[in-house]
Structure 1
Amino acid sequence: MVIALMNDTFNKAKEDGKLGLLVYRTELINDYERLDDLFFSESLYNSQYICFHRDPNLMKKWMIKSQELKEVKLYSWYNDEDVSKEEI
C-alpha cells in the first residue's frame, strides 16, 4: 500500500514537473514574441493561447536564442547559497 502511494506521488510530481516546464516554455516564447512584435495590445496580455506568424527572420533569431540558452539549466538563475554541490 505504501509503495503504491509513493508511486502515485512520484507520477504526480513528474506530471507537475512536465507541466511546469511547458508553462516556462510558453512564457519564454510569449516574452520573445512581445519583444519582437509591437502589435500585441494590453488586452492580449493575459491570453491563454500563443499565436504567432511564421517569419523566417524571426525563426532565425529564435533558433540563435534557443542555441544560446541550450546550455543553461532551467532555473539556474536562482542562486542557492544554502545548498552545496555535495548535497545535490
Structure 2
Amino acid sequence: MATKKVTITLPEEVLAYIKDRVDERGVSAYVTAAVERMVAKDKLHELSDYLETEYGPTSEDAYETVLDRIEAIDAWYDSRREGAPAQQPPSAGQVAA
C-alpha cells in the first residue's frame, strides 16, 4: 500500500502514552493501526445500517443466537488452549440445539 506523509496534532499526553510503548519510528505505525481500526469500525457501521435498511432490524432471537454462537466458539478455543483433543468448533445447529 502506498503511503503519504501527513501532519497531525495530538494532545501531549496521548503522544507521550504512545511514545512510552513504541520507539520513535513506531509512532506512525501505532497511529496508522488506530486509524485503520476506526475505518474498519466505520465500514462495519455502514454495512449494518445498509442491512437494517434493506432487511429490517435484527430480532432479539437472532441476536441471542449470535451471542450463543460466539460464546460456544470462545469456549471451544479456551478448551483448545487447555489441551483438549482436536475437534471442530460447534456448528450453528449445535449451538441452537
Taking structure 2 as the reference length, the TM-score comes to: 0.37
* Higher alpha-carbon Rg: 2
Q: TM-score, normalised by structure 1?
A: 0.41
Query: Which structure dedicates a bigger proportion of its chain to helix?
Result: 2
